[in-house]
Amino acid sequence: MAGLISKKMSPAIFRWFALAAFVSMILIVLSGAAVRLSGSGLGCPDWPQCSQHLITGPLGIHSAIEFGNRAVTGLLIIVTGVTVIAAWRRAPIRLDLLWLSLSLVGGVLADAVLGAFVVYSKLNPWLVSLHMLLSLSMVALGATLYHRSKYLYVPGVKAVVRDPRMKLLARLLWIPFVAVVLAGTVTSGAGPHAGSSQGQLRAKRIPIAFNDAAWIHSVAAMFFVALVVGLLASVWRTGAPRPLQTGVRRLAIIASLQAVIGFTQYWLHVPVLLVELHIAGAVSLTIGVVQLNVRQIAHARVPGTRRADAVTTPSGALRP
């Protein structure tokens, strides 16, 4: 740590800190989902300690899972904090990377505090849904930080809009995507996996029939999939640049698989393994929408992070 603070850091090295922060945002979503699906949401009745006068809580599977999730959160605070220091010591310093890193720290802290409200409200389903939405927002921020750490978002370096029409469509795609996510969190809040286990206080559910919520979510999801497939057909016919074709193709595959998983888990009465897989799919979709948007503008690569699609020439220009 002392070496990190005292020495300047190359942009190529900082990219690995950005990647670590990005991956940590994914882990917190998956570990939090495991807490709810295993019925361990009330495994630790207090916060920040697990129970009165006990940091780890009484011996048991539910307390161990919930405390493990809190330990992951603590680790994420450290990872994101170190990333902020790395962004500060990066040479040359870039304010966009520094602010994104600070936003991740703030988001993780807000997620931890929100987790306390979730515990003391006995798993209020609206707060649990907000917890999920905030975590997915942090995934989007982490993906953006990692992408920007690899490219030159600085004045004087050429940036080219690959397809103005596609850029607008990619931005508008956030609207149906957010609608799908909101409907999905409401469906989870109305569903059978409340986060508590047998013998504990039964957590409240969102007052809407699960079947109705699932139907609304499925309609929103199919509309989103249809839009993505339409984008795929459009970039194919118009001969859009390869990075855009790749981004849309990946998003179409992920969205289609996510739809299949969603329908399957519904017909099988939402088994926990498929629900966890569906949440992992939501994380993948979030990353896919972010990547589709950041690919709309071609930037030169940071030296030391070269790839075939865009590399930095000695003059700083873009070369495909």
Question: What is the model's pLDDT at position 178?
Answer: 97
Confidence (pTM): 0.88
d(CA 41, CA 89): 39
- Burial classification of residue 175, based on how many CB atoms lie within 10 Å of its CB (0-12 exposed, 13-18 middle, 19 or more buried): exposed
Q: What is the full DSSP assignment across the chain?
A: -HHHHHS-B-HHHHHHHHHHHHHHHHHHHHHHHHHHHTT-TTSS-SSSSSBTTBSS-SSSHHHHHHHHHHHHHHHHHHHHHHHHHHHHHBSS--HHHHHHHHHHHHHHHHHHHHHHHHHHTTS-HHHHHHHHHHHHHHHHHHHHHHHHHHB--STTS-EEES-HHHHHHHHHTHHHHHHHHHHHHHHHHHSS--S--TTSPPPP--SS-HHHHHHHHHHHHHHHHHHHHHHHHHHHHHT--HHHHHHHHHHHHHHHHHHHHHHHHHHTT--HHHHHHHHHHHHHHHHHHHHHHHTTEEEPBPTT---SSSEE-TTS-EE-
CA atoms within 13 A on the CB side of 53: 0
C-beta of residue 33 within 8 angstroms of C-beta of residue 276: yes
Q: How high is the pLDDT of residue 228? A: 94
Q: How far apart are CA 286 and CA 311, in angstroms?
A: 26
Question: Which amino acid does the sequence have at 214?
Answer: A
Cα distances (angstroms) measured from residue 276 to each of 27, 100, 128, 161, 265: 12, 28, 15, 37, 10
Q: Are 288 and 251 within 8 A, CB to CB?
A: yes
Distance CA 219, CA 223 (A): 6
In this prediction, residue 314 carries a pLDDT of 38
Mean pLDDT per 10-residue run, the chain (320 residues)? 63 95 94 81 72 62 77 88 95 94 94 87 88 95 96 86 89 96 92 63 79 94 94 84 89 94 91 92 96 92 68 40
Q: What was the pLDDT predicted at 6?
A: 53
Locus of tokens 């931005």: 171
Supply the Cα-derived Rg of the chain in whole angstroms: 21
* In the chain, where the domains are located: 2-319
Give the pLDDT score at 318: 47
Cα atoms in the Cβ-side hemisphere of radius 13 Å centred on 56: 6
In which residue are the tokens 């799908």 written? 180
